[in-house]
Structure 1
């Protein structure tokens, strides 16, 4: 038996056998499962260099924003994470406010899986987390102060049961905190060894340039910027991608399926009771407009001609741009995960296909 690294009391684990550990975070025994990663896990996934760094990220990353809270089936969540790794997905994206019904529960879930089966592969994983949105009550649990960011990272490390994350992000700019303070906190996390790289999310081009300059004063490069990008959300094309290229910063795209609008879920014009549009604060039945249906159905037909689903086409479209390092997908089942990972292995879009897509890949669709 070996002792796993991480903050707090060491957890005993066995790489290939079954064992039992008492986690200080959960106060109950954990059953360790046999997990041997697939030998061919790196054979099919494409990996792209993140900016000017030495880090390669998979073309498709797995986000744990939805579907990984403590209220879901842990067996299903673990199965998704195992299958993702077997398919070459090495990057797992989290944040301090991910998971339901309580903030941080996605990190707790991932920490359990790391404890019970994935720890032997820790050096093959890229684990990222963020802080910037409200995570706890009071004036010190939100936005971009040094106190909040570094306290949040410590909490995240405890939930993840690891002594470092690979990427720590400022989740959004803070209009009332100097960007030098926010970037100084990220630099401190890197220099303390609690994060290997610094990242930002939801910063505009001007803010991004300021972040790059502020980090450079500490001798820390900005590894990556995470921003929403899809056929229906193209704001990233308005200067941000060029800014990232000029600064040598990678781009990771989130919500490439436009919160589900770029899937087959709503193409009959109705909203299923279990759909995100029926239960989300970000999407509602009001987004299922006649204009949206016309464009999404046209894109579905283009996808069908390529032998893809609409979701797969949407992922292929974002990945068409070499400035995009990786796209983040969510998954509620192994089958859904497998279907979307295939998009990274499909044939590149031709010039003719891109021209056919363009009239329907309209910024603001669903929100116009």
Structure 2
């Protein structure tokens, strides 16, 4: 029977989520990849155990994570029913609805019908009574924002979620939703945007809006799907996602354009006695509005290496300027498709 490391809270940092009372572990575990029905369950458990043993308390799911869609929630639910059952109150478990999950007009986007049905399905798959945070996974251009907000508010009022969040929303969309939530007295506390060294788009709209609203962010794609690791330092590996990419920024031709930038960033990291991945995570956490950064993992050792980033979170002004100069020289990247 799994017993958590008694020293798990000694080295992890916990950041307050905006002006709410909730704190998140500075590093969270995303279950987007490697936790589906096609992945070894024993490895999944080992990764989750390692994460919790290192003080990671934030676990991030969505209804469609897999493959097969829904299987990440099902697998995590198995762990909750056994290994993690004694620790439920020490965990912050999140899920989302908004991307396509089942056929027909109701298994996608942000209608009340879709949000409520999806949340109910996710609760059944995980075996939970409630989610700590439930997100709208993306803005629905054909649904009135108030309808999506009211659906999320209903989840809280019915005891199915403690807090609500948004993901993949622009700064302007966050402002609209925040106003509705304020009128409803809904505990909207967090946004989940893509953010990393190679994609800084949220610095001009999302982060200022969250700061103005006294909300926080948890960043995903923090390592840019592996580009900001040592995996690409010597070219594109045959088994990499870039070789199987169906989205523009991971197309081999696009990756080739970033290799010089990645190598120069790696030199900065080496001078800080960090790996490139560790520096990338620390760089995200330099933003006051970012409460947590999500990591993925295919084996427990990756979790250990990433959490080690917390040993060196400070940057000198010279380091930040060097990083800015390196990034300014990078050719434009096509971020038109969401990862």
Extract unaligned runs of 5+ from structure 1: 1-33
Partner of 1:3: none
Partner of 1:139: 105
Please state if 1:41 is matched with 2:41: no
Partner of 2:21: 54
Find 1:304's aligned residue among 267, 270, 274: 270
Partner of 1:235: 201
User: In structure 1, what is the Cα distance between the partners aligned to 2:312 and 2:275?
Assistant: 11
Query: What are the residue-to-residue correspondences of 1:14-163 with 2, within 5 Å?
Result: 34-100=1-67, 102-163=68-129
What displacement does 1:356 show? 1.3
Dislocated runs of 4+, deviation >3 Å: 362-368
Secondary structure at 1:84 match in 2? helix
Structure showing greater radius of gyration is: 1
Partner of 2:242: 277
Find 2:258's aligned residue among 292, 304, 307: 292
What displacement does 1:346 show? 1.8
- 8 Å CA contact 2:215, 2:289 repeated in 1: no
- 8 Å CA contact 2:97, 2:135 repeated in 1: yes
Secondary structure at 1:196 match in 2? strand
Find 1:262's aligned residue among 206, 219, 228: 228
- 8 Å CA contact 1:66, 1:330 repeated in 2: yes
- 8 Å CA contact 2:285, 2:313 repeated in 1: no
Partner of 1:5: none
Find 1:211's aligned residue among 158, 177, 183: 177
Partner of 2:165: 199
- 8 Å CA contact 1:233, 1:364 repeated in 2: no
Aligned pair count? 332
Query: Measured at CA, do residues 68 and 249 of structure 1 come closer, stay the same or move farther in structure 2, by a change above 3 Å?
Result: same
Partner of 1:182: 148
TM-score by length of 2: 0.95
What displacement does 1:366 show? 4.8
TM-score by length of 1: 0.88
Secondary structure at 2:109 match in 1? coil
User: In structure 2, what is the Cα distance between the partners aligned to 1:155 and 1:52?
Assistant: 30
Partner of 1:357: 323
What displacement does 1:267 show? 1.8
